[in-house]
Structure 1
């Protein structure tokens, strides 16, 4: 598009807005001072080191790039200016993960609030589509099987196939797992890869140690790729496990993409329904700490095995 065409479009818009006697002119290309006429992209905005402090303005653009918006000073940023009692707002910001006291620019959100929202949204989408790498599983001494899903795209479109084991998975589980254990532990990516990769090291050791210390025979833990919760029923039935524990990534929320859940069920079969299942959710460093969650899961498993029930049938 040449400059004359651009100028014509600009003049047309100005006329629509009521401007008259528009002078003839040409498009002026603004260049950074002291630079050549060669195109230069504008430098990225860099927030001030004092971000989050009441009543302080943002620093000038330094061109050093955008800071990580997941930093504590942005998460707990108080954007209300000239508050009657700023300490009340600051205290509210610290007490919740909700987006409170963000301030506004007229009817719009503040730039920093919008950027944080977009960054958190992107982070949540990323963890859904990411894959747990085979190399990472090998380092964690976990072997893997797969559901009837072929890739992440199909996983998101066909939840029903994520509830069924592939024929190869059934064969591998039958060959490599201990038969008829009291407890079988399964790890699955689910809808959050970050939930698995960020919490596994902190939850699996105390969980396995706790189950063994409680006197239970524990089956061989393994990783289920592209798994849905219902897949644990087929695994439990295949291995004839008394209790099946499925650690799976939760659907991520804005600003929280690392949340893990543990679904617990007693003697699952193809007839198991959701009311037979129990779940311990929100397992991550900002929710229920993984070590604490491991202790809760062990205690819940003990109750399930004692009462031979789970879900609504379990008398607490």
Structure 2
């Protein structure tokens, strides 16, 4: 296969959005149209009862990229540059993070006390970022999304809390932080579990008066934040709009009428 007339060693560099590998298709135009309508692995052809070599290699490459994202760490120079206060859950390392989801939802008492002592209390808006299951998602999307949210929220005159980055964090960490700081609206930007389409997808979980005793239905969610999903600029604007709506209605999740 060739890209820009040069041989490519990395099969993941090939654009498969319109590449049809079915041999002698009845309608190449129909195949291209189908490929462009979905990220699914369609119109790839076969060799007997098996995948073609090219299809299998691309599958393995995408699977490896997903694994890399799960096992990698967020670039901490990014969160430092954005001014995030860094904390960690009870998880000791990445292996434990994968095998003990419960520990990724909890903090030590010392960590909670440090948050109370070093972060702004009683904020209107508390922004949190967590690595989740995709470090690459945070690396790729956090800066633009956070910048748009913070600019729009400040323009509305809301009191912004100290931005917090949680290493080895899962969604429920937002509840403990919200309770500790008595935040009105809490927003968690977290890396999604990567798939074979992308390893850079981020989600935003939002809640009014987030609490460890409230159900999951308290959360409002925007998912698939990445270049080929919901772009960061659009996501940031949507999140800012929802923050304003939550502040006005004093509710979130299934109680918030959009």
TM-score range, shorter chain: over 0.9
TM-score, normalised to structure 2, is: 0.94
Aligned to 1:109, the other structure's residue is in SS state coil
User: Does residue 257 of the first structure (1) align with residue 199 of the second (2)?
Assistant: yes
Equivalent residue number for residue 214 of structure 1 = 156
Q: Which whole-Å deviations, capped at 9, do the CAs of 1:193-248 have from their partners, x for residues lacking one? A: 00000111221111100111122111111210111111111100100000100000
Equivalent residue number for residue 226 of structure 1 = 168
For the residues of structure 1 that align with 2:132 and 2:228, how far apart are their CA atoms?
A: 20
RMSD of equivalent CA atoms:
1.8
For the residues of structure 2 that align with 1:307 and 1:88, how far apart are their CA atoms?
A: 48
Q: 2:134 aligns with which of 189, 192, 201?
A: 192
For the residues of structure 2 that align with 1:72 and 1:288, how far apart are their CA atoms?
A: 22
Equivalent residue number for residue 132 of structure 1 = 74
For the residues of structure 1 that align with 2:181 and 2:3, how far apart are their CA atoms?
A: 56
Q: 1:172 aligns with which of 98, 114, 126?
A: 114
Equivalent residue number for residue 87 of structure 1 = 29
Q: 2:181 aligns with which of 239, 243, 246?
A: 239
1:287, CA displacement in angstroms?
0.2
Aligned to 1:123, the other structure's residue is in SS state helix
1:182, CA displacement in angstroms?
0.7
1:72, CA displacement in angstroms?
4.5
Q: 1:146 aligns with which of 85, 88, 112?
A: 88
1:168, CA displacement in angstroms?
3.4
Aligned length: 258
User: Does residue 97 of the first structure (1) align with residue 39 of the second (2)?
Assistant: yes
Aligned to 2:113, the other structure's residue is in SS state helix
1:301, CA displacement in angstroms?
1.0
1:75, CA displacement in angstroms?
4.7
**Any unmatched runs of 5+ in structure 2?**
none
TM-score, normalised to structure 1, is: 0.78
Aligned to 2:11, the other structure's residue is in SS state coil
Bigger CA radius of gyration: 1
Structure having greater relative contact order (Cα 8 Å, sep ≥ 6)? 2
Equivalent residue number for residue 300 of structure 1 = 242
Contact 2:84/2:164 (<8 A) preserved: yes
For the residues of structure 1 that align with 2:17 and 2:241, how far apart are their CA atoms?
A: 34
Q: Which whole-Å deviations, capped at 9, do the CAs of 1:118-176 have from their partners, x for residues lacking one? A: 00001101100111243443334333100111111111111111111123321321122
Give every structure 1 segment of 4 or more consecutive aligned residues whose post-TM-superposition deviation is greater than 2 Å.
47-51, 66-76, 133-143, 166-169
For the residues of structure 2 that align with 1:223 and 1:266, how far apart are their CA atoms?
A: 19
Contact 1:250/1:259 (<8 A) preserved: yes
Contact 1:123/1:255 (<8 A) preserved: no
Contact 2:75/2:139 (<8 A) preserved: no
1:67, CA displacement in angstroms?
2.5
For the residues of structure 1 that align with 2:49 and 2:14, how far apart are their CA atoms?
A: 26
Contact 2:89/2:167 (<8 A) preserved: yes
**Any unmatched runs of 5+ in structure 1?**
1-46, 52-61
For the residues of structure 1 that align with 2:252 and 2:15, how far apart are their CA atoms?
A: 43
For the residues of structure 2 that align with 1:137 and 1:215, how far apart are their CA atoms?
A: 24
Alignment of 1:58-73 (within 5 A): 67-73=9-15
